Structure 1
């Protein structure tokens, strides 16, 4: 998520600042700049709101005199549930403060949400986002592992259908050892371990996303983690193995998908490149999650170097 946070900072430091220079009385009917997103993995959500005024926002002290003429509401368009977000001053990297609104709730996959930022005179800016999800998850294709000629390298190719925009891909491994917890010298190992792949892979002509997992490299990394846990006394020396594996993908909604899949800050910082705010500027999106697991055959586990 660090890259996504960096992207938000880039957008805020360029597009956001220029937006605040617009005159709200130029009949353009733009009232607020909005930046934020809903995250299916989180229950605490925030959005930054900047009033579109003649002068750029520059709050040096978080006092009532600097409060913004704005109330923020979100609506679950499936249930009609409306909630008002709470205002807060947040200290920014340059030492000034920004207006941040926060709310706490569970984000549901596939649902559409609407965010409204309203002034006292009822003029408003708004945006909508649909939390991305992958339909027909059973259609995810995974090829059999492919070993090189000397069997020292194994890869697995996976294809995810109709994904809007993958952001953070992880390989999942469920690790066990032979200790059921009754033996001395450490406990039983039963843990999920994730190996990050970032936004690796590529979009295919049919709209799917293809990624290749390096099973050999993943095994080395995971076994090193287990060794570190052993050294700390968490697990004993009974052999470990991967009993299941899978894929976890953070999914960005359509508004986050950059032009031609290119996360180039110089391109994305141009006003209007990524924006879905009506009567305002900025971007309010959402991040979903997809996860699927499957059993690891004993033959594959042994081929990767596990002892049982």
Structure 2
């Protein structure tokens, strides 16, 4: 049942890659004493098998061709375990018809590891960025609070999570008929369900009663659904995102210059941690919700 919404990660990655359009509009002023050579944008995703970073040379001339070849080699250095990985350049055509260089590599990033992304020219000039993947948190599932079938809730505390998670999804697993494949229903939780926890983490309130209304939209006849389990997945951004007020706001992210961690260049390369927890709820609570407990399944 360990699933994530890939749309969220793809959205964040391509928002970051797309920022390059506005961030690179201006040519370099030769009278300014700044050592800026490349613009980098990307987000390393713990849930992905391959990673992507867009690379744009800082323009020194007006007629620079973004779709032409570039003098750049991208390499990642895992500063935690010492591994080194070269990336491959690709020419990507974006939705508006423009082209840009997106480097990619088969890489599974690890929680707590720090990665250094270096882009080097043939003359030895290097632009770089470092990002640390969020560390593995400790999930704590609290007992169910049952105040009647309309007010059944349960809290999950993620100890060690410093910021409000970028994305939270709860997954319900059902069996619709004997021998049938499992049916999973995902419910995305907005910030109203989240709050800082006093024990150095974030608390997510699972509204089991209200979620049932969303489940019925996907799987009708809840009285015939055998409840097999529940899980939660969270996406946590690295601390360099540092969103104002502790909350991630895409409208802020797309503003040029708001986030920048590139040495000898412009842009931002961050990391996203993906974490899950699964659990079951007592049979009496399952019945109160109008589902069938597993052992009653014929």
TM-score (norm 1): 0.80
- Find the aligned partners of 1:42 and 1:267 in 2 and give their Cα distance: 25
- Find the aligned partners of 1:199 and 1:46 in 2 and give their Cα distance: 28
1:270–1:105 distance in 2 versus 1, CA, 3 Å:
closer
Partner-residue secondary structure (3-state), 2:48 = coil
Cα offset for 1:151? 3.3
Cα offset for 1:266? 5.7
Cα offset for 1:285? 0.9
Cα offset for 1:49? 0.6
CA RMSD of aligned residues (A): 2.9
Aligned to 1:50: 56
- Find the aligned partners of 1:281 and 1:244 in 2 and give their Cα distance: 46
Aligned to 2:95: 93
2:144 pairs with 1:144: yes
1:56–1:298 distance in 2 versus 1, CA, 3 Å:
farther
Partner-residue secondary structure (3-state), 2:52 = strand
Aligned to 1:33: 39
Aligned to 2:286: 301
2:242 pairs with 1:250: no
Contact kept, 8 Å, 2:133 with 2:273, in 1: the verdict is yes
TM-score (norm 2): 0.83
- Find the aligned partners of 2:126 and 2:240 in 1 and give their Cα distance: 20
Unmatched 5+ stretches in structure 2 = 1-7, 294-298
Superposition pairs of residues 116-135 of structure 1, within 5 angstroms: 116-135=118-137
- Structure 1 consecutive aligned stretches of length 4 or more whose deviation exceeds 6 Å: none
Contact kept, 8 Å, 1:58 with 1:97, in 2: the verdict is no
Larger mean CA deviation between 41-50 and 90-99 belongs to 90-99
- Aligned match of 2:208 in 203, 210, 215? 215
1:33–1:249 distance in 2 versus 1, CA, 3 Å:
same
2:288 pairs with 1:288: no
1:71–1:117 distance in 2 versus 1, CA, 3 Å:
same
2:167 pairs with 1:168: yes
2:182 pairs with 1:190: yes
Aligned residues: 283
Aligned to 2:77: 75
1:58–1:156 distance in 2 versus 1, CA, 3 Å:
farther
Unmatched 5+ stretches in structure 1 = 182-187, 231-236
- Find the aligned partners of 2:254 and 2:61 in 1 and give their Cα distance: 20
